[in-house]
């Protein structure tokens, strides 16, 4: 039996006792009446007042019961409010402050370790870049040295070619003078046996007046070949 039911029972007892008292009063008044009319009047008046008083008592009892119910509801709400935090906090696992501090320290430790690892990686990349730059610099220096050596070699070759050209020109000029001073038949016999390149180089330097009798005394086929080569050489553009 709960607390609200225990409060309603005394109210019901009081109401029953008051109703019983009213009935007892009515019965006493009925016995003490001297006349039938007076008794009837009193009974009518008591009958009219009894329901009214009973209804008033019932209304009072109902109001008191509602008040008790309201108080019970407020008490129940208060109990639920007090009990609700306990239910809502049942699923929460409370941890000690030391555990929180330890968790924060672990996070800081992980961050420091990750930072240290990333720093090592960056330092390794920097060392690799420095090594590559050193290798590229050494390669550039070596290429520069090779390029300078090639330029020097080219200059030497050009000098040699220039010297050779001068010597070759001097030698050809000397041969031209020799063959121009010979008799045409003697020169023709030698021209028939000379290398074509040397022969064309010598003939291109000789005057036409000296060359004509020599060509006439040469082998016709040899003379025709040399003539074609001389004509082609004159048609070639001069090198700058």
Q: Which residues of 189-227 are buried (b: 16+ CB within 10 A; e: fewer)?
A: eebeebeeeebbbbbebbeeebbeebbebbeeebbeebe
In a domain, 226, yes or no: yes
Residues spanned by the domain of 209: 182-235
In a domain, 154, yes or no: no
Helices 97-181 and 196-203 pack at an angle, to 10 degrees, of: 70
CA atoms within 13 A on the CB side of 208: 2
Last residue of a domain, one of 14, 47, 79: 79
Structure tokens at 117: 């690892």
To 5 degrees, how large is the angle CA 147–CA 149–CA 152? Answer: 110
In a domain, 240, yes or no: no
Q: What is the number of domains present in the chain?
A: 2
| Residue 107: band (very low, low, confident or very high) from pLDDT cuts 50, 70, 90 | confident
In a domain, 48, yes or no: yes
| Residue 172: band (very low, low, confident or very high) from pLDDT cuts 50, 70, 90 | confident
Last residue of a domain, one of 79, 105, 137: 79
Give dist(CA 197, CA 230) in Å, integer: 10
Give dist(CA 199, CA 203) in Å, integer: 6
| Chain segment 86-100, per-residue pLDDT in tens | 444 445 555 555 556
Give dist(CA 211, CA 39) in Å, integer: 192
| Chain segment 134-148, per-residue pLDDT in tens | 999 999 999 989 898
Last residue of a domain, one of 54, 79, 104: 79
Position 149 pLDDT exceeds 80: yes
- pLDDT value of residue 37: 47
Helices (H), the chain: 3-32, 36-88, 97-181, 184-191, 196-203, 208-217, 220-235
In a domain, 85, yes or no: no
| Cβ(202)–Cβ(175) below 8 Å | yes
């Amino acid at each position: 039996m709960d607390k609200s039911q225990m409060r309603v029972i005394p109210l019901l007892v009081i109401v029953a006792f008051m109703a019983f008292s009213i009935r007892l009063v009515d019965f006493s008044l009925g016995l003490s009446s001297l006349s039938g009319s007076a008794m009837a009047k009193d009974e009518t008046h008591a009958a009219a007042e009894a329901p009214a008083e009973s209804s008033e008592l019932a209304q009072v009892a109902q109001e008191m019961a509602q008040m008790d119910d309201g108080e019970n509801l407020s008490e129940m709400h208060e109990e639920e409010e007090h009990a609700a935090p306990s239910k809502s906090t049942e699923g929460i696992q409370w941890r000690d402050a030391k555990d929180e501090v330890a968790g924060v320290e672990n996070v800081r430790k992980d961050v420091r370790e990750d930072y240290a690892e990333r720093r090592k990686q960056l330092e390794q990349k920097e060392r690799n870049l420095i090594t590559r730059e050193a290798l590229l610099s050494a390669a550039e220096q070596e290429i520069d040295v090779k390029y300078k050596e090639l330029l020097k070699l080219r200059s030497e070759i050009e000098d040699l070619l220039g010297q050779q050209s001068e010597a070759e020109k001097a030698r050809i000029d000397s041969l031209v003078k020799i063959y121009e001073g010979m008799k045409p038949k003697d020169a023709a016999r030698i021209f028939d046996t000379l290398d074509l390149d040397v022969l064309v180089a010598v003939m291109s330097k000789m005057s036409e007046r000296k060359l004509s009798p020599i060509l006439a005394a040469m082998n016709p086929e040899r003379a025709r070949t040399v003539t074609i080569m001389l004509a082609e050489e004159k048609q070639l553009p001069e090198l700058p």
